[in-house]
Structure 1
Amino acid sequence: MKITYYGHSALLIESPEAKIIIDPFLSGNPGSGIAPEKIRVDAVLLTHGHSDHLGDAVEIAKNNDCPIFAVYELAEYCRIKGAKVKHMNIGGKLAYSGFTVKYTPAVHSSSIQEGDYWIYLGEPGGILLTLEGKTLFHAGDTALFGDMRLIGERNAIDVAALPIGDVLTMGPDDALLAASWLRAAKVIPVHYNTFPVIEQDGAEFCNRLKEEGITGFPLKAGESVEI
């Protein structure tokens, strides 16, 4: 499993079975380093509906004639925008084209602004993505919550993508505890340094992970790691 980071919370996952992108906030993100039309995937996965996660999902899905996986209300929003979708919800699992997606809880919010109105887009979620016999947990935007222990107990997580930006999600201290509860041997910090309010030191966070026996990857946009 090859994982490439495209800034903020966007991850491209590649294996011989499938290519998948999660939370593709690319064109609106000056740090992504790639244009959405360059993305070639078999599926788009969304954790929630905020614009810095929904991003270019509809465009990418249309360009690739592939589905967007999302919690029901967000999936419906994407369907209305013209994308193929797979409607899911928290706790549900779906096997598709060589990989499996399962949604977990996340403690956050999910909506998008159109004109003067905010549209509710269902509950936020985390994503357990299993392919090539390995499992990635993308926590989405979330606070620390106790059931992360249960997620770690019930799933053999090879790598976890955890937000560390603070203010809008959990910060480094809580993310460090989350990594332990999730029993993740490897962690990719996400959702930091895109905007001034979420500036953090990813390398320092990974140093703290190392002290706990966890390998951290403070990837820069465009960098990859093989799991």
Structure 2
Amino acid sequence: MQFTQIRNATITIDFGGKKFLIDPMLSAKGAFPGFPGTVNSEQANPTVELPIPVSDIIAVDAVILTHAHPDHWDDAAKRLLPKDMPLLVQHEQDAQEVRAAGFIDVRVLQAVTEFAGITLLKTAGTHGSGKVLEDFGALLGEVCGIVFRHPQEQTLYLAGDTVWNQQVADAIQTHHPDVVILNSGDARIAGYDPIIMGKDDVLAVYQAAPAAVIIASHMEAVNHATLTRTALREFAEVHGMMDRLRIPQDGESYRF
């Protein structure tokens, strides 16, 4: 497999002979406002430019949306992606939104979905915990992760926009992934705990999956992301994690 960090949660995965685009946010830097009520909301999104041309990013076999928040599925993606591109989404609600944007091959992920000989297993996640879910659960909505399996590939687990919790622990224990992708930017609504993973969550996954390579994605590209790559690297060095932790720059790729 090959993993490429594009920007934010937008990545590409070459797996089992097919190429997937995950959670495309394809807008130019500063194209839409910061998210109201979040930290640094005065800063426009995205906060950085794309590292490679859009034409290269969208040259894929399928798109997977873990959920339809605008930092994972923006107006630019709706405009730029071919309307006959296969789009795999977590549930019918997201499917309706994608179809409304003009896409004609929209598929709802089941517990187990086959795509061109690749097995996709949908996993659970939660976009925050505690008080933030009590106050903003409807806004944060449902999210999913995906486990990728193929006879000629190592097992890949994309956790999605979740914090460390029993759902993630169960996915690791059930699927024994060789590679784990974590959305690790410690994004925050002002005054609340994180709505995606931060450095302590990354450490928890590192400890729970002692044979896996961990990739930290969803960093330094939207206004409410508070954990920098430098801070995560410093934390990881203190905790002895750099043997299996990868913190890619935008545009960087890894092969496994």
Q: Contact 2:206–2:241 (CA<8 Å) still a contact in 1?
A: no
Percent identity of paired positions between Structure 1 and Structure 2? 28
Shift of the 35–129 alpha-carbon distance from structure 1 to 2, 3 Å rule, reads same
Whether contact under 8 Å (2:127, 2:141) holds in the other structure is no
1:93-132 matched pairs, under 5 angstroms: 93-108=112-127, 123-131=142-150, 132=152
**Which aligned pairs between 1:125-140 and structure 2 lie closer than 5 A?**
125-131=144-150, 132-140=152-160
Structure-2 residue corresponding to 1:116 = none
- Asked if 1:219 is matched to 2:244, the reply is no
Deviations 1:20-69 (A, max 9, x none): 11111122443322343332111101111110011354445426x32111
Number of the residue aligned with 1:115: none
- Looking at CA atoms only, which structure, 1 or 2, has the larger radius of gyration? 2
State the alpha-carbon separation in 1 of the partners of residues 242 and 54 from structure 2: 36
Q: Are the equivalent residues in 2 in contact too, given 1:3–1:11 (CA < 8 A)?
A: yes
> What's the TM-score, normalizing by structure 1?
0.82
| CA distance, structure 1, for counterparts of residue 127 and residue 219 of structure 2 | 16
CA RMSD of aligned residues (A): 2.6
TM-score between both structures, scaled by the size of structure 2: 0.74
> Where does 1:112-191 land on structure 2 (aligned, <5 Å)?
123-131=142-150, 132-166=152-186, 167=188, 168-183=195-210, 185-191=212-218
Alpha-carbon distance between aligned partners in 2 of 1:128 and 1:11, rounded to the nearest angstrom: 15
Counterpart CA distance in 1 for 2:210 and 2:94 is 29
CA contact (8 A) 1:108 1:124 kept: yes
> Does the residue aligned with 1:50 lie in a helix, a strand or coil?
coil
Ranges of 4+ aligned residues in structure 1 off by more than 6 Å: 119-122
Amino acid in structure 2 at the alignment position of 1:46? L
Q: Does 1:51 align with 2:78?
A: no
Shift of 1:212: 4.4
Rounded Cα–Cα distance in structure 1 between residues aligned with 2:164 and 2:15 = 30
Task: Read off the aligned partner of 2:247 and give its amino acid letter.
Answer: P
Residues 57 and 127 of structure 1, relative CA distance in 2, 3 Å threshold: farther
* In structure 2, C-alpha distance between the alignment counterparts of 1:182 and 1:147, rounded to whole Å: 14
Note closer, same or farther for the CA distance 1:61–1:134 as it changes in structure 2 (3 Å cut).
farther
CA distance in structure 2 between the aligned counterparts of 1:199 and 1:93, rounded to whole angstroms? 34
SS at match of 1:52: coil
Aligned length: 215
Could you tell me how far apart the structure 2 residues matched to 1:215 and 1:126 are? 21
Deviations 1:136-164 (CA, angstroms, capped at 9, x unpaired): 21211112111222111111312111122
Unaligned runs of 5+ in 2: 29-45, 129-137, 189-194
Q: Specify whether residues 173 and 94 from structure 1 end up closer, same or farther in structure 2 by C-alpha distance, changes over 3 A only.
A: same
Partner of 1:34: 52
Which structure has the highest strand share of the two?
1
